Structure 1
Amino acid sequence: MRLPAKPGPGPGKAKQAENAFAALPKLRDELATERPELFRLKLQACCTTFDFGSETNLKAKEAKRQTLIELVEYVNSRAAFQDTLIPDIIKMVGANIFRALQPKDRTFISLSDPDEEEPNMERAWPHLQIVYEFFLRFVVSNEVDPKVAKVSLNTDFIMQMLELFDSDDPRERDYLKMILHRIYGKFMTLRAPIRRAIQNAFYKVLYESEMYNGVGELLEIMGSIINGFALPLKEEHKDFLIRALIPLHKMKFLASFHQQLSYCMSQFVMKDPQLAYVIIAALLRYWPATITSKQVLFLNELEELLELTKPPEFIRLQGPLFQRIAQCIMCPHFQVAERTLFLWNNDYIVRLITSSRKALFPVVISALYTNSKVHWSNAVHGLTFNVLKLLMQADPQLFDECSANHKEAYEEEERLEVVRQQRWATLKELHAKRRP
């Protein structure tokens, strides 16, 4: 749900705001004892917002921008973040960043590639960037006591921050990512609410909207969070993986956040190797049937996961896994076939395959022989013969048996095809004789 728009001040109020900024002296010109109160007044003045879609109130906008720059410069002072000032700081930040995001035509976006779309840059960024920089310095400051700040920087504030991750402007999402990550690290009581809020954002992506701009940034935050999970993993963390993260593989625009999602999957497997079976089984279940570019992404992720998979988990999933790999080897799209054959460049995966060669060689060798006869790409042919050579060297006797079995099956298939063609010819003759 997007936030309601906040109208900018009219000409009269804009003039008052300009005068208010001008009436406040510079912080550096005041006595040290007077600066905290002046700092408060400037924070309150900066709560005034403007409509950056119009060219009006330019003097007031510039006066506010200069005041914001002054506030950022002042935050290096120990007095900047006194406990009594924290409510005013949070109020000023919220007044500026919580706003109506630029509307999107979701119908148009759903039919296009988001990577090819020019992002809608935020018109208010000259002000927003300074506010975000100020907020970041506030969050990371050692002078801020989390126990005091959590009264104002509460769950409601975090929920509204999460809404802003749908911003079209990647600069804003980058600041939000840094700030939310720092908040997670510093405010212990907010950790569980942040995880729940991110989970709800992913549910929104899965069940409400085709496109959500901040998925990649939220996954980056989750990657760091998962890396810090204590062992053994809690059931709520595994539930988060199964219910919110793994289903993101179904999304049409997986390419825009796949790298971050794949990293999260790898982090979970590193924490608990038994999860390799859960994740790879889900990949096979969600495997794209027609989108070859998405198949290549799945194959990239599959290799990363197999590198972390222990033999017991590999044995559990090797049957359906290599049925899928065999299909990919024979895929007419050369990128899918190439990427699949590149799996044999990975020594660890080759050892896993070799350890289960009696079950896997027949499936793989049959697909490779089929490829060598029917695939159109010379590059795929070269890789196919390289893999055949590796398999032959790994177990010559088993290789010969599988080759002989494939030859018999192929000859039987050809014989059945001849019979089928003869039957069709007979049926055509009968049909021709019955025609008047």
Structure 2
Amino acid sequence: MIKQILGRLPKKPSKSSEHRESGGSSAPSSNASTSSRSNDLASNSAMDLDHTPLSVPNSASNLGYGEGSKFPQIGQLKLNGNSVVPSYEALPGFRDVPSSEKQNLLIRKMNLCCVMFDFTDPTKNLKEKDIKRQTLLEIVDYLTSANGKFTETLMQEVIKMVSVNLFRPLIPQPRENKVLESFDLEEEDPLMDPAWPHLQIVYEFLLRFVASPETDAKLAKRYVDHSFVLKLLDLFDSEDPREREYLKTILHRIYGKFMVHRPFIRKAINNIFFRFIFETEKHNGIAELLEVLGSIINGFALPLKEEHKLFLVRALIPLHKPKSLPMYHQPLSYCIAQFVEKDCKLADTIIRGLLKYWPITNSSKEVMFLSELEEVLEATQPPEFQRCMVPLFRQIARCLSSSHFQVAERALYLWNNDHIENLIRINRKVILPIVFPALEKNGRNHWNQVVQSLTLNVRKLFSDIDPELFEECLHKFQEDEAKLEEMKTKHDATWKRLEDIAATKVSSSEAVLVPCAIPAQMLSS
């Protein structure tokens, strides 16, 4: 349903990203798209109501809007356990009050929406929940059509209402002790927050508030501050993918609008990655954070700051280590490719980083690494390629020799890339001796017919480019094979001699033991 409400950020943002390091701003949503989202919210009364309930407490004391802050009161309204007193009534519509009173009515409606309800029991407070939902829809619609800059008082009330509703503890749900692996999680149905009928509209309200041209960034930064951003980032660990999708878009807008917060946001995301890589290896929002970063990296000014290069080395490259890599590999690969396109001299650093974290026993991850490697090599220039080609093609040779056909096949497909083939062609005198044994053994013995066919194509390519070098490598391979065969024969002969000696020793020891057995029998008799 979330796709009907707001456009998703692209998995691969275009190079014309609006967030330039020198002062980019997020693209404001058009009035038409804003209006259509409002209509979707208002018309779809049954929106996402039928989801498996989560055990997420909605206690006012756990909402976390400021240390020691009081829960908002509307007259005599309050929470009594899980019920609300009957005085929770809808306020008049904006059309029913004069223009001078509309802002005060908006504040009263936002205060009304600060009352929280328990969605774990779908039978409780149905009337009050519907009143709150309709009130939220009204203030979203009012925000969309508002004219004139938002006052500081209004901004304060907006952030208070948003904070009370969104900033709540995220309780992870048990998954029957399953290991955090991509193939496990992909088979699981995502866990949906039962409070989403209200949360969705609050997120839409926050998104429109941040994106609105009537929101003055200089004034709003007092309330959309570091504490607010940190709490927003904490919500990325939500198990509800709809919530993470909204958070991704909102963070993207905040980064574009509040330039003063940009270094802090990058540092906070960096810390989330560190905790994920080196401590927990569990976080639901890594993919969404990387999608936001893809757009941010796309807008970095040149030459790249040292801070950005350190982020690449210390956070992005180590993200290849966790077992859950398949869950976020696509946006991670895009971020890595962006760095190479920005500064081709980083290719050597990135390739050596990939080799450092190269999987040994996980074939599916190896295929991912090979795909990412192709993207990096496509943007790599000859000087950087020559620095790392020896360790790189030693690893590729191991992949060519893999008994897993997908690994060997993906490694052979590197030769189908014109740029990579040209790099190999230029440096064939170094590369061919490294990969030739793997190619020769594949062509003779590999069990998969496709791998054999691709191998023969690569062998023919080398043979056509440089016949003399090919024959030289073939001759050396045959000599090495003959030496190995000779050595194997010697080893077999040595083992045979050892076995004969051992057999002789056993026979002689049995002959010595027989006379000793006679006195023992005589003694027993």
TM-score by length of 2: 0.80
Q: 1:83, 1:144 within 8 Å by CA — same for their partners in 2?
A: no
**Residue equivalent to 2:364:** 293
Give the AA of the match of 2:165.
N
Structure 2: how far apart are the matches of 1:243 and 1:106?
31
Q: What SS does the aligned partner of 1:117 have? A: coil
**Residue equivalent to 1:104:** 173
Give the AA of the match of 2:196.
W
**Residue equivalent to 2:219:** 148
Structure 2: how far apart are the matches of 1:80 and 1:236?
36
Structure 1: how far apart are the matches of 2:176 and 2:333?
28
Structure 1: how far apart are the matches of 2:364 and 2:323?
11
**Residue equivalent to 1:137:** 208
Counterparts in 2 of 1:306-345, with a 5 A limit?
Answer: 306-345=377-416
**Residue equivalent to 1:7:** 59
Shift of 1:197: 0.9
Please, which of 95, 113, 120 is the counterpart of residue 46 of structure 1?
113
4+ residue segments displaced more than 6 Å: none
Structure 1: how far apart are the matches of 2:213 and 2:113?
24
**Residue equivalent to 2:37:** none
**Residue equivalent to 1:370:** 441
Structure 1: how far apart are the matches of 2:310 and 2:110?
42
Structure 2: how far apart are the matches of 1:14 and 1:39?
25
Asked whether 1:62 is paired with 2:114, we answer no
Structure 1: how far apart are the matches of 2:289 and 2:178?
20
Q: What SS does the aligned partner of 1:348 have? A: helix
Shift of 1:374: 2.6
Bigger relative contact order, structure 1 or 2 (CA pairs below 8 A, ≥6 apart)? 2
Change (3 A) 1:228 1:111: closer
Higher helix proportion: 1
Counterparts in 2 of 1:233-272, with a 5 A limit?
Answer: 233-272=304-343
Q: 1:366, 1:406 within 8 Å by CA — same for their partners in 2?
A: yes
Shift of 1:368: 0.2
Q: 1:296, 1:336 within 8 Å by CA — same for their partners in 2?
A: yes
What RMSD over aligned residues (CA atoms) do the two structures have, in Å? 1.7
Structure 2: how far apart are the matches of 1:189 and 1:107?
44
Change (3 A) 1:412 1:183: same
Structure 1: how far apart are the matches of 2:299 and 2:498?
70
**Residue equivalent to 2:164:** 95
Structure 2: how far apart are the matches of 1:200 and 1:288?
25
Q: What SS does the aligned partner of 1:47 have? A: coil
Q: What SS does the aligned partner of 2:177 have? A: helix
Q: 2:58, 2:168 within 8 Å by CA — same for their partners in 1?
A: yes
Structure 2: how far apart are the matches of 1:104 and 1:359?
53
**Residue equivalent to 1:177:** 248
Structure 2: how far apart are the matches of 1:6 and 1:20?
18
TM-superposition CA deviations, 1:272-304 (whole Å, max 9, x none): 111111110011011101000000000000000
**Residue equivalent to 2:153:** 84
Counterparts in 2 of 1:139-218, with a 5 A limit?
Answer: 139-218=210-289
Which structure has the bigger radius of gyration?
2
Change (3 A) 1:159 1:106: farther
Structure 2: how far apart are the matches of 1:429 and 1:30?
108
TM-superposition CA deviations, 1:139-173 (whole Å, max 9, x none): 11000000010111100000000100000111100
Structure 2: how far apart are the matches of 1:416 and 1:53?
73
Give the AA of the match of 2:169.
A
Change (3 A) 1:106 1:189: farther
Q: How many residue pairs end up in the alignment? A: 431
Please, which of 72, 76, 92 is the counterpart of residue 140 of structure 2?
72
Shift of 1:30: 1.3
Shift of 1:267: 0.5
Please, which of 103, 118, 126 is the counterpart of residue 189 of structure 2?
118
The unaligned stretches of length 5 or more in structure 2 are 1-55, 61-77, 511-525
Q: 1:303, 1:343 within 8 Å by CA — same for their partners in 2?
A: yes
Q: 2:79, 2:115 within 8 Å by CA — same for their partners in 1?
A: no
**Residue equivalent to 1:429:** 500
